[in-house]
């Protein structure tokens, strides 16, 4: 009996300031009235692949493509209270990632030309959530971006503002005026295990680069597949990043990487392509089997890169696996998936390369 009571007590005590403050009744607007970033197609949903791919990609990739990782809403408002009402597709939970990262929302405002965290919207227990994010702000007009769940899909989403406030399409072109980076990868690229959507490294990079990223991170399923390559061919990217080593066995990496790059080079003759090596898993420092497979995967990708160069492929770049998570071994929750610490370090590490490769785009 004490157990159940304590559970609720702890939750209330931790959260009372942020979650249960009195907020005015909000007027809700369907989020699809505002520009969506990180989604390359025009369907009125929050899926990463358009409907036709249900027939062509593996079922796991299709299901994961309905997770809204990397998708965000741009708007402006003078509201003093901003809230959200949303319904997720799966009500996913995992024991090494917060529900807020999995199926919550994350609001940033433009302050002095940079995106500043306002607050997250912690999901309820269940499919439906309703939360005030900003509660008693001032009525300054501000530009906002709202990041969507990383490991669940969004069935519906409305943004609420206090009665009398205005909400409309953005005036500032930021995040709307540059060609996206397309990032094809694993669970790490999908955002596991950021504590809130804005801390996925791809979303950190969106803010730092002021450029959208189409997130093709498919948890456990980033496998250099040409069926995904077809979707990449449909995008209009400033840069294509391929970071599929974590989910691909060493035996498959060379053949698949060569085939995918060849496919992408054919459909996008000029677009720069960056191959990214897997980083060392933290428990690899204690487990030789883990360490060995990490090195074998790297060697296979490097060989694919060299063979592609020899075959005359242009505008192909390579980033080695060292240095992504810092030197203190504290960047992951489970040895593999970055926490916010690992996500910040990953973003800082890859930023100069992405900046250089997109500077003329």
Q: Return the closest-CA partner of residue 240 out of 219, 218, 220, 260.
A: 260
Per-residue binder mask for its own copies (CB under 8 A), 125-144, x = binder = x--------xxxxx------
Residue 350, sorted as left (phi over 0), alpha (psi -120 to 50) or beta, turns out to be: alpha
Interface residues for its own copies in 142-161 (CB under 8 A)?
151
Minimum CB separation of residue 268 from its own copies in Å reads 29
Binding residue count for its own copies, defined by CB under 8 A: 78
**Closest to its own copies by CB, 179 or 349:** 349
Interface residues for its own copies in 200-259 (CB under 8 A)?
204, 219-221
Per-residue binder mask for its own copies (CB under 8 A), 60-99, x = binder = x--xx------------------------xxxxxxxxxxx
Among 38, 83, 123, 217, binds its own copies (CB under 8 A): 123
Interface residues for its own copies in 327-356 (CB under 8 A)?
329-330, 332-337, 339-341, 344
- With vertex at residue 244, the alpha carbon angle to CA 238 and CA 250, rounded to the nearest 5 degrees, is 145
**Closest to its own copies by CB, 144 or 305:** 144
Sheet with strand 128-134: strands edge to edge? 26-30, 154-162, 82-88, 128-134
3-state SS class at 200: coil
Among 158, 195, 263, 271, binds its own copies (CB under 8 A): 195
Round to whole Å and give the CA distance between 282 and 8. 35
Alpha-carbon distances, residue 300 vs 178, 224, 305, 314 (angstroms): 33, 13, 9, 20
Round to whole Å and give the CA distance between 322 and 302. 14
Interface residues for its own copies in 35-64 (CB under 8 A)?
60, 63-64
Q: Return the closest-CA partner of residue 285 out of 328, 345, 343.
A: 328
Round to whole Å and give the CA distance between 95 and 151. 13
Please tell me the number of Cα atoms within 13 Å of 336 on its side-chain side: 15
Per-residue binder mask for its own copies (CB under 8 A), 264-303, x = binder = -----------------xxx-xxxxxx-------------
Minimum CB separation of residue 343 from its own copies in Å reads 8
**Closest to its own copies by CB, 100 or 263:** 100
- Note whether 24 binds its own copies by CB under 8 A: no
Minimum CB separation of residue 301 from its own copies in Å reads 18
């Amino acid at each position: 009996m004490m157990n159940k009571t304590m559970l609720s007590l702890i939750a209330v005590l931790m959260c009372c300031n942020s979650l249960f403050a009195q907020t005015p009744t909000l007027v809700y607007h369907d989020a699809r009235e505002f520009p969506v970033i990180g989604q390359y197609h025009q369907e009125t949903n929050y899926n990463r692949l358009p409907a036709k791919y249900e027939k062509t990609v593996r079922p796991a990739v299709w299901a994961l493509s309905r997770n809204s990782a990397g998708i965000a809403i741009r708007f402006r408002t003078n509201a003093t209270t901003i809230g959200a009402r949303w319904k997720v597709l799966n009500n996913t939970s995992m024991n090494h990632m917060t529900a807020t990262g999995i199926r919550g929302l994350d609001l940033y405002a433009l302050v002095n030309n940079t995106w500043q965290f306002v607050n997250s919207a912690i999901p309820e227990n269940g499919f439906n959530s309703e939360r005030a994010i900003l509660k008693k702000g001032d009525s300054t007009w501000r530009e906002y971006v709202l990041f969507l769940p990383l490991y669940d899909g969004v069935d519906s989403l409305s943004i609420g503002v206090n009665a009398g406030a205005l909400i409309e399409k953005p005036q500032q072109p930021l995040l709307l005026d540059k060609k996206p980076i397309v990032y094809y990868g694993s669970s790490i690229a999908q955002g596991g295990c950021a504590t809130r959507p804005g801390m996925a490294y791809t979303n950190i990079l969106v803010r730092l680069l002021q450029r959208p990223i189409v997130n093709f991170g498919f948890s456990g399923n980033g496998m250099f597949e040409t069926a995904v390559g077809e979707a990449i061919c449909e995008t209009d990217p400033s840069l294509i990043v391929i970071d599929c080593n974590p989910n691909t066995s060493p035996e498959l990496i060379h053949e698949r990487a060569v085939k995918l790059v060849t496919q992408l080079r054919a459909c996008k003759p000029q677009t720069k392509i960056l191959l990214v090596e897997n980083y060392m898993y933290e428990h690899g420092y204690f487990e030789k089997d883990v360490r060995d497979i990490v090195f074998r995967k790297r060697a296979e990708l490097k060989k694919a890169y060299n063979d592609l160069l020899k075959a005359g492929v242009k505008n192909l770049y390579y980033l080695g696996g060292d240095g992504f998570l810092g030197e203190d071994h504290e960047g992951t929750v489970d040895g593999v998936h970055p926490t916010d610490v690992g996500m910040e370090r990953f973003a800082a590490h890859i930023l100069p390369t992405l900046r250089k490769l997109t500077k003329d785009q």
